[in-house]
Structure 1
Amino acid sequence: MIIEQIYTNCLAQGAYYIESNGEVAIIDPLRETQAYIEKADKNKAKIKYIFETHFHADFVSGHIDLAKKTGATIIYGPGAETSYEIHSAKDNEEFKLGNITIKAWHTPGHTLESTTYLLIDENGNNHAIFSGDTLFLGDVGRPDLAIKSDLTKEDLAAMLFDSLRNKIMPLADDVIVYPAHGAGSACGKNLSKETVGTIGDQKETNYALRADMTKAEFVKEVLDGIAPPPQYFAKNAMLNKTGYDTFETVLKTGNIALSPEDFEAMANHEEALVLDVRPQSDYIKSHIPNSIFIGLNGTFAPWVGALIKDIKQPIILVVPDGKSQEAVTRLSRVGYDNTLGYLKGGIAAWISAGKDIDTLESISATEFSNRVKTGNVNILDVRRDGEFQSMHLEDAKHFALDLINEQMNDVSKDKTYYIHCAGGYRSVIAASILQARGFHKLVDIAGGFDAIKTTDLPMTDFVCPSTL
C-alpha cells in the first residue's frame, strides 16, 4: 500500500495518491492532473477512483479532467448534485482498491455533502481517514459555505458537531488523519502547520474535539471570530459542481508571448487587467502604470481570488523569466482561466520599446521611524484583523487588504500614506491597487511590521478608532 500526500503550499492544500495492488485512488486532486497519471503509469497501476471530500470552495479540483483522461469514477458523498457523471456514495458504502477498502462516511457540517473517507488496510484495520474540511489539525471546517441552502451556519455547525462525535472521535487514537488543508487556508481559523496527525493527537490538542464540550459550546466556539469567506469561494464551488474548461486549453490560450505593442493594445482595448507577478522588489523599481502586483513568491492564488472580483476578468501578465506557465497554472487553480498572454521580454522589453513606467517609493523601517518622529504621518496597516488586534502602531489606521475594495472611500488622494503589512508582500499589493486608482502619494515600508517592531515607535494592542 502506498499513501502519498501531495501538498501545495500556495493553497495550503493536500491531495492524496493511494495505491494498492495496481489500483489507484486520488483524493481531492489539483487542477493540473498529469502528475497523477505519470505516477500511476510509472508504477504500472491504473487510476480507478477519484474521491472528492466535498465541493471545494478555495480551489478548482482536477476531478473532471482526470476522469476524462483515465476513465476513473468520480465519487462524492450523499446528496451531491453535479452537471457531470458521478457516483454519489451512500453512507458507509465501501470501495475496493486492490487489497484495501475505502469507506465513505457522510460527515456533513462544513458542507452538506462533506464526506470523510476511512481507509481500511489489508488486515482489516482502520488505518487512516481523509477528512477533507471536516477535521483539520487544530481546527474544523468553517460551517458557513453551504451553497443554495436554507440552513444557517448554526445549523451546519450543529451537524458538524454530530459528525465529529458520532463518526470520527470514536476511532482509535492511532488512526492517521490526512486533512485537506493546513495553516494558511481560509477554510478554518486555527489550522496547524503540520499536515499529518493522528486521532489521539487531535483529541488532546484540537479545541473542537474537547471531550466535555456541549453542542451549544461547540457551535459558539466554531463560529466565534470566523471571518467572512473570500468572494471567490462561492464561484469556485460552483465550478466544481458544474464543470470548467480543460486545464490544457487554459494553458494553451494563456501562455502566449505578447510584444509590448500587442500587450499595450490588449490592456487598452480588451479591458485586460495587467497583473505583475514578479518579486515586490522588482515591482517597486519599475512597473507598468495601472498594473496590479500580486507576486508569485507569496500566497498568490488566494490573494488573486480575494481581490479580483470578476473570475472571468481578462488578464495579461508581467512575469519573471520562465515563469509564465507557472503563473497561468496557479491562476487556473482558483478558476481564473481568462489569461490572454504575458509580456515577452518582461519589463526590460517594455522600457526598450519606449513605454511609460511607474515606480513606488519604499523606505526602511528606520527611515519611517525618523519621519514619524518629525511630523504627523498617515499610516495604513493592511494586515488582517487578528494581526492588527494583537499589536499595532498607536497612530495606524487599520486598512485590511482583503477589504480594500470596500474601503476606498476612507482614503484621500490628497494625502500621503505610509503602508505596511507584516513582512512587505501585502503592502505592495495594497499600494499597487491604490496607485492604479489614482493614489500617488504612497510610501511602502520595507520589511513591514516585523521591521517596524525593531524601532522604538509606540505600539498598542488595544483597538481604537483612528481617522485618516
Structure 2
Amino acid sequence: MIIQQFYDKGLAHGSYAVIRTGKMIVIDPARNPQPYYDFAAQHDADIVGVIETHPHADFVSSHLEIHETTGAVIYCSKLTGATYPHETFDDGDVIQLNDIKLKAINTPGHSPDSICILLVDEEGRETAVFTGDTLFVGDVGRPDLRENVGNITAKKEELARQMFQSTRQKLMTLPKNVVVYPAHGPGSLCGKNMSPELESTIGRELRENYALQLMDELEFVKTLTTDQPFMPKYFGRDVLLNKNGVPGFEDSITAVPRMEEGSALEADILIVDGRPKAQFRSGHLHGAINLQDGEKFETWLGSIIGPDEQFYLIAENDDKLDILIKKAAKIGYEQNIKGALLVPVNANEVSPDLDLDAFRANENDYTIVDVRNQAEVAAGKVFKNAVSIPLPELRERVSEIPADKPVIVHCAAGYRSAAGVSIVSAAINAVPVYDLGEVVTEMMKEVHG
C-alpha cells in the first residue's frame, strides 16, 4: 500500500493518493490533475476513484476532470447535492480497493456535508484517516463558511455544535496510532491555529490540539466561533464551483485571452499587475493593483477582487504570465481574466519615493494606513494613530482615509503594502501616497522589541 501526499504551499492544501495493487484513489485533488496522472503512471496504477470530503471553499478541485479523463468514480456525501456524476459516500459506505477498505465517516462541522475517510489496511487494522477540513494538525475546521452558500446552509454556531459532536463521537474514539492526513496546513484560511506539521496521529491530537481538550459544548462553540481569520471574497463561489464541477485545467488556462502589444484596455476593467514592486513603481498603468507573484498570490487575488469582477492581468514576461494564469485557475479566477498581457508601453505612472528620515522625524505630518488583518492589529499597533483597514476591505473603504496630508501604507513585511499603496494611490490624487515597505519590520522591532 502506498499513501502519497501532494502539498500546494500557495493554498496550504494537501491532497492524497492511495494505491493498492495497481488501483489508485485520489482524495481532494487540486485544480491541476497532472501530478496524480504522473504518480499513477509511475506506479503502473489505474485511477479508479476520486473522493471529495466536501465542496471546498478555498480551491477548485479537479474531481470532474479526473472522472471525465480516466472514468474514475467520484464519491461524495449525498448532502453535497452534487450535480456531477457520482456515487454517494456516507456513514456505513465502503470503497474496496483490492484488500484494503476506505470507510466513510460523516463529520459535519466545517460544513454540513463534510466526511472523513478511514483507511483499513489488508490486515483489518484502522491505519489512517483522511480528515478533509474537519480535523487539522493542531486545529479543526472553521464553522462559518456555509452560512449563505452550498446545498445545505447552516449558521456557524450550529456547525460548531456539530463539530463538537463529530470530533468527540467520530474521531476522538479512533485508535491513538491512526495517522491523521488533513486537507490543509499552516497558512490556510480554513482554520486559525494550524501546526507546521502536515500529518499527525489521533493520539497526538488528543494531547495537543486545543479543540480536542476537555470542555463542554458551550465553551467549544464559543472558542471555535471567535478569532477566525478573514474570509476571502472567492470562498462562496468556489463552494458552488466544486458542487457542480469545472472544465478541464489546461482547456481553461488556454482559453484565457492573450492580448497583443498595443491592444486597448477597457477603462472600467480592473488591472492586476503581478510584477515585482520595484518594476511596478518605476512605471505602471494608472489604477493598476500591484499584486506581486508570490507564495500567496492566489489567496490575495481572491481576497481583493470579487468573484464576479473581471480584470486584466499583467506580467513582465510570458513565463510569468503563464504562472499567474495557472495560479488564478487554482481558485477559479482564470475565467475572470478579461485579457492577459505584457507591460504596455504607456505604463508610465511612477510611484513616489518616501523620505524615511523626514517620516521618522515627523510622523504626525502623515496619514498612516495599516492594512494588516484585525488580529495582527489587536496584537499591537506599529503606529498608534494609524487608520486600520485590512487589505481585503481596502477597495471598499478607501474613502475613509483622510487626504489632507501625505499617506503612508504599511503591513507587516512589505508584500501587502505594495498592493495597498497601489489601491490608495488610484483613489487619492490630492497628496502623495507612499509605501513603507520592508522598513516596517525594523520599526515593529523598535515598538514591540
Once the two structures are superposed, what CA deviation does each residue of 1:104-161 show, in whole Å capped at 9, x if it has no partner? Answer: 1110111111000111122211111110110111111111222354632111111111
Compute the displacement of 1:245 (Å): 2.7
Q: Percent of aligned pairs with the same residue?
A: 34
Give 2:44's aligned residue.
44
Structure 2 CA distance for partners of 1:448 and 1:137, relative to 1, 3 Å: farther
Moved more, 237-246 or 431-440: 431-440
In structure 1, C-alpha distance between the alignment counterparts of 2:308 and 2:439, rounded to whole Å? 30
Gaps of 5+ in 1: 461-468
Work out the CA distance in 2 between the residues paired with 1:38 and 1:384.
Answer: 39
- Cα pair 1:275 1:293 within 8 Å, conserved: yes
Matched, 1:342 2:340: yes
Q: 1:150 to 1:105 in 2, by over 3 A?
A: closer
Number of residues of Structure 1 aligned to a counterpart in Structure 2: 443
* Aligned-pair CA distance for 1:50: 0.4
User: Of the candidates 382, 387, 394, which is equivalent to residue 371 of structure 2?
Assistant: 382
Residues 234-292 of structure 1: per-residue CA shift (max 9 Å, x gap): 11101111232322222112273x33311xx1344xx5432111222322222222211
Asked if 1:176 corresponds to 2:179, the answer is: yes
Residues 73-82 or 281-290, more deviating: 281-290
Cross-structure match for 1:100: 100
Deviation larger for 93-102 or 124-133: 93-102
1:358 aligns with 2:355: no
Is residue 326 of structure 2 the alignment partner of residue 329 of structure 1? yes
Does 2:266 match 1:276? no
Which residue type is aligned with residue 317 of structure 1?
A: I
1:403 maps to 393
Report Cα offsets for 1:174-207 as digits up to 9, x if no partner: 2111111112111111112221111111111111
Question: Hey, what does 1:423 align to over in structure 2?
Answer: 413
* Structure 2 Cα separation of the partners of residues 364 and 19 of structure 1: 60
Structure 2 counterparts to residues 43-82 of structure 1, below 5 A: 43-82=43-82
C-alpha spacing 1:255/1:121, structure 2 compared with 1 (3 Å): farther
Q: 2:240 aligns with which of 230, 238, 241?
A: 238
Equivalent position amino acid for 1:178 in 2:
Y
Q: TM-score normalized by structure 2? A: 0.93
Task: Quickly say closer, same or farther: Cα 1:48–1:442, change in 2 above 3 A.
Answer: same
Give 1:5's aligned residue. 5
Task: Map 1:138-287 to 2 at 5 A.
Answer: 138-146=138-146, 147=149, 149=152, 151-210=154-213, 212-227=214-229, 229-254=231-256, 256=258, 258-262=259-263, 265-268=264-267, 271-287=268-284
**Structure 1 stretch displaced more, 5-14 or 288-297:** 288-297
CA separation in 2, counterparts of 1:135 and 1:435? Answer: 42
Tell me which residue corresponds to 2:422.
432
Between the aligned partners of 1:382 and 1:314, the Cα distance in structure 2 is: 22
Residues 156-165 or 32-41, more deviating: 32-41
State the distance in 1 between where 2:414 and 2:257 align. Answer: 28
- Which residue number in structure 2 is paired with residue 292 of structure 1? 289
Give 5+ residue unaligned stretches, structure 2: none
TM-score normalised by length of structure 1: 0.89
> Any conservation in 1 of the 2:283–2:347 contact (CA below 8 Å)?
no
Aligned-partner SS, 2:442: helix
Shift of 1:13: 0.7
In 2, the alpha carbon distance for the partners of 1:54 and 1:178 equals: 15
Closer, same or farther: CA 357–107 of 1 in aligned 2, 3 Å: same
Query: Does 2:437 match 1:446?
Result: yes
Does structure 2 conserve the Cα–Cα contact (< 8 Å) formed by 1:284 and 1:362? no
Distance 2:425 2:275 in 1: 17
**Which residue type is aligned with residue 72 of structure 2?**
A
- Aligned letter for 2:164? F
Task: Name the CA distance, whole Å, in 2 between partners of 1:430 and 1:213.
Answer: 41
Cα distance in 1, alignment partners of residues 41 and 410 from structure 2:
48
2:61 alignment partner, SS class: coil
Residues 358, 43 of structure 1: alpha-carbon distance in 2 compared, 3 angstrom cutoff: same
Measure how far apart 1:454 and its partner are: 4.2
Kindly indicate whether the alpha-carbon contact (under 8 Å) linking 2:131 and 2:181 is maintained by their aligned counterparts in 1. Answer: yes
Q: Secondary structure at the match of 1:54?
A: coil
CA separation in 2, counterparts of 1:228 and 1:13? 18
Judged with a 3 Å threshold, the aligned counterparts in structure 2 of structure 1 residues 167 and 437 are, in CA distance, closer, same or farther, namely same
Task: Measure, in 2, the Cα distance between the counterparts of 1:182 and 1:231.
Answer: 21
Whole-angstrom distance in 2 between the partners of 1:320 and 1:117: 43
The answer to whether the 8 Å contact 2:233/2:305 transfers is: no
Q: Distance in 1 between matches of 2:120 and 2:56?
A: 25
